[in-house]
Amino acid sequence: MDARLGNLEHVRICSARDTLCHWPRFGGLWYWPQENEILLGHIHSHSDYQNPQDKAHGEFGIWQRATNRFQRSLDGGATWPEELAFDLYDNRKHLEEHWQWLGLDPFTRRPLRPNDACERPHIDMTSPDALFYTSGIWCGLPSVHDGRVHHERVLWGLRSGDRGRTWEKHPILLRPHLGDSPAIYNPAYLVLPDGNVLCWFGAVVRGNLGSKRAPQLYLSTDNAVTWHSVSTIHFDANSPETASYARLLLLPSGRLFSSLGMWAGSAAVRWTAVTYSDDLGLTWAPPRRIDRWSVSPFPVLLADGRIVIVYVVRCQPPMRMCCIVSEDEGKTWSPEILLRDDSPPRSDEDAGYPVAAELRDGRIFTAYYWQVQEKDIGWPGGRKHIAGTFFELK
């Protein structure tokens, strides 16, 4: 174990013989320190681990068979009772059911009503018990390529005022001001001290060297009901680099900090960059690369002011979960700290998408999807499950 770590412990959170668990970053993590309560989401689907298409990432893979699954721990992640788990939405519904739930016109796929025209409960997003969950459904405008009918992704959100125990009835629609096929990773919002809410997501935008993702920032002044474009966090039309996986932190100095997952070309090799804004997101500094390779970085602001970024390395064996630390608001970063690297060499190098939080006892908890060797299946590696790691930083 790395000398900079203490009390390192790995746990398995969600796993079953015929279940494929993916992407906590699409689910999100919320933590309430006073009660030591955690709400954790992921994308949850059936698989008999025979067809590799089961793990495909697009419209015709996991998503068309998956639910948005949530689990709750009342003891800081030590246990995750099955009776507290629930599915917030079932992506297996037919297109017509998606359109009806989202309130989309079946022909134009445009909203039939504005977000603020729906009857909604009053939810104060400054309350510590309030949360905003966001996701996407492939049910927008169709196009044909590769011999199949594909659909644009429609982003939606639901608010809860009681830690995800009850939810508003009507979804909130989020639409980018440029690009298509948006992607959103949870938690994708930040409540500012003045009560306004920022939300960010990535859309595919065409540049001079082809299409790529650009993280976009939006603002709500009415508790996350309606949204207004603020800025594009990073987009360079003349560069092959693309940016995704944005996550924002409000630092003690008042600066907005954002980590970005970056790549160029095929995305086989990725890295983390950081940027910042000193005017609450109106303008952003050019991104600065801070590591050699990493996927889906997730930053956490610790109580002592340090920033920890948790990520997975997939392009260089062994596949591993790692973190790096900054003690100066992101100006400099520590060398890589290894958390685990026990995924088998035969794995399909597909894991990670972590979320994380600092617990009230000072430990850091991170959840991600993972594989370990299981001899009873022919799948590369083992069953994909939601894993967790507790650790201290000395």
pLDDT value, residue 58? 83
Beta strands in 48-102 (DSSP E): 66-73, 86-90
CB-based contacts of 384, cutoff 8 Å, min separation 6: 20, 21, 22, 55, 350, 351, 369, 370, 371
The ranges assigned to domains in the chain are 5-393
pLDDT in tens, 21-33: 999 999 999 999 9
Non-local (6+) Cβ contacts of 145 within 8 A are none
Phi, psi of 112 (to 5 degrees): -80, -20
What local confidence, expressed as pLDDT, does residue 211 receive? 79
Q: What is the pLDDT of residues 173-216, one digit of tens each?
A: 997 665 567 889 999 999 999 999 999 999 888 777 777 889 99
Residue 217 has pLDDT above 80, yes or no: yes
In the chain, the percentage of residues whose pLDDT exceeds 70 is: 98
- The pLDDT assigned to 176 comes to 67
Q: Which pLDDT band, with edges at 50, 70 and 90, does 372 fall under?
A: confident
Which phi and psi (to 5°) does residue 84 adopt?
Answer: -95, -5
pLDDT of residue 185: 95
Whether the CA torsion 314, 317, 318, 322 is positive or negative: it is: negative
What pLDDT is recorded for position 51?
84
pLDDT at 112: 94
Q: What is the dihedral of CA 366, 371, 374, 378, to 10 degrees?
A: 160
- For residue 207, report the phi and psi dihedrals to the nearest 5 degrees: -110, -170
pLDDT, one tens digit per residue, over 317-365 is 889 999 999 999 999 999 999 999 998 776 777 899 999 999 999 999 9
Residue 251 pLDDT > 80, yes or no? yes
**Share above pLDDT 90 across residues of the chain, in percent, rounded to a whole number:** 76
In b/e form, how buried is each residue of 246-258, taking b as 16+ CB within 10 angstroms? bbbbbeeeebbbb
Bridge-based pairing of strands 288-289 and 295-301 is: unpaired
With 60 as the cut, is the pLDDT of residue 260 above it?
yes
Give 1 or 95, the one with higher predicted confidence: 95
Q: What six digits make up the tokens of 29?
A: 């993590």
Q: What is the pLDDT of residues 73-94, one digit of tens each?
A: 999 999 999 999 999 999 999 9
pTM of the model: 0.96
**pLDDT the model gives residue 304:** 96
**Structure tokens of 172?**
């909130």
Return the higher-pLDDT residue of 127 and 48: 127
**pLDDT (mean) for 99-104:** 96
Note the pLDDT tens digit of each residue in 54-77: 888 888 889 989 999 999 999 999
Q: Which CATH number fits domain 5-393: 2.30.38.10, 3.20.20.140, 3.40.50.740, 2.120.10.10?
A: 2.120.10.10
- The answer to whether 72 and 80 are in contact (CB under 8 A) is yes
